[in-house]
Structure 1
């Protein structure tokens, strides 16, 4: 017996509207989802660490990447403590405890996001489940949402129309077509941070 998919428990808001039917000589060319490039793990805490997952991404590979980002965040948070600037000052212990508390707070705020759409959502949820199983070290939160995508309407080439025998359909109705079509795709965002 196969386990139930993790996406069955999620609820998504339906945002897509009914679109007019396209003529047979027009095909929708889908564009890739626009997103910013992935920052370096060593960049500061001001840049959000986001990992985009596809349906073919290996689960453990994504887990290792998330762990790498979290280790780098931990190193950044404790760098001030480990630097030798505090030696010989009065109130050393109090300063160290205050810096330790600040670094712990900074570490809790820094999250790594795993994002996925469509069939890849299952993969992102598996990554979240893996970190949830190790709950004493990590906090995991899951958010659902939608992403607006655009697709261009493109007419088929003449050779493709001949192959599909759709030349007759083209003659039937010449109507004005919009250049792009927009649609909403479900998205999952798994946020992982150290406790």
Structure 2
């Protein structure tokens, strides 16, 4: 039995509008989705730490990257405790009390610094599985899921040869239509009414004429769904 996709229950706001259909001689070339530079694991708590997931990211590799970042949050929180314990003027009892207090403080501070797992499109399912791995270990970690969208830019690539063929095809259809008109002996019931064949030919001629004059945009934008899973110590 196939597993139920974890992304099935996610809800996203629909932002994309119906896009204008491109002619046959043009195609869309997707650009990589930009994201901020990856922060150093050793940066302070004010710098967000994010693990970006792609469809080719190995599952356990992503889990270990998140674990490493979480471990660094713990080390940063513990640094102040080690500093205070280095004071030689305090008694052993004072140090033990301070160690217990410092441990609680460390867990609290580490629990306030979140590590983010982000993915878009088809990679969202893998990101959700990574988040589920941490969510199942609820004694140690806390997770929360947030959905959203990001705007991306795609390039419109024009094929000159393809455009030329479309124009030539339109000219050929137009020529054939003129020849049929000359051979036609039967009068149309109404001077304003065209036969189905002539209507189809007229549409193709119109498309061919548009292909000659239409200026294609260099790019166009669209919205892509994104999922963000925040992981922190409990």
After TM superposition, the score normalised by the length of structure 2 is 0.74
1:141 has 2:144 as partner: yes
Q: CA RMSD in A?
A: 2.3
| 1:182 counterpart SS class | strand
CA shift digits 1:76-133 (9 cap, x unpaired): 1101112344331487666556544443332111111110011100000000111111
Residue segments in structure 2 that go unaligned for 5+ positions in a row = 171-206
- Judging by fraction of residues, say which structure has more strand: 1
User: Who wins on radius of gyration, i.e. which is larger?
Assistant: 2
The separation in 2 between residues aligned to 1:100 and 1:8, in whole angstroms, is: 40
Runs of 4+ deviating beyond 6 Å: none
The separation in 2 between residues aligned to 1:137 and 1:30, in whole angstroms, is: 40
State the shift of 1:171 in Å: 4.5
| 2:226 counterpart SS class | strand
Instruction: Name the residue aligned to 1:152.
Output: 155
Instruction: Name the residue aligned to 1:125.
Output: 128
The separation in 2 between residues aligned to 1:94 and 1:148, in whole angstroms, is: 52
After superposition, residues 57-136 of structure 1 pair within 5 angstroms as 57-83=57-83, 84-89=85-90, 99-136=102-139
Residue segments in structure 1 that go unaligned for 5+ positions in a row = none
Instruction: Name the residue aligned to 2:209.
Output: 172
Distance 1:85 1:157, change over 3 A: farther
Instruction: Name the residue aligned to 2:30.
Output: 30
The separation in 2 between residues aligned to 1:103 and 1:157, in whole angstroms, is: 64
C-alpha contact (below 8 Å) 2:110/2:233 kept by paired residues: yes
After TM superposition, the score normalised by the length of structure 1 is 0.87
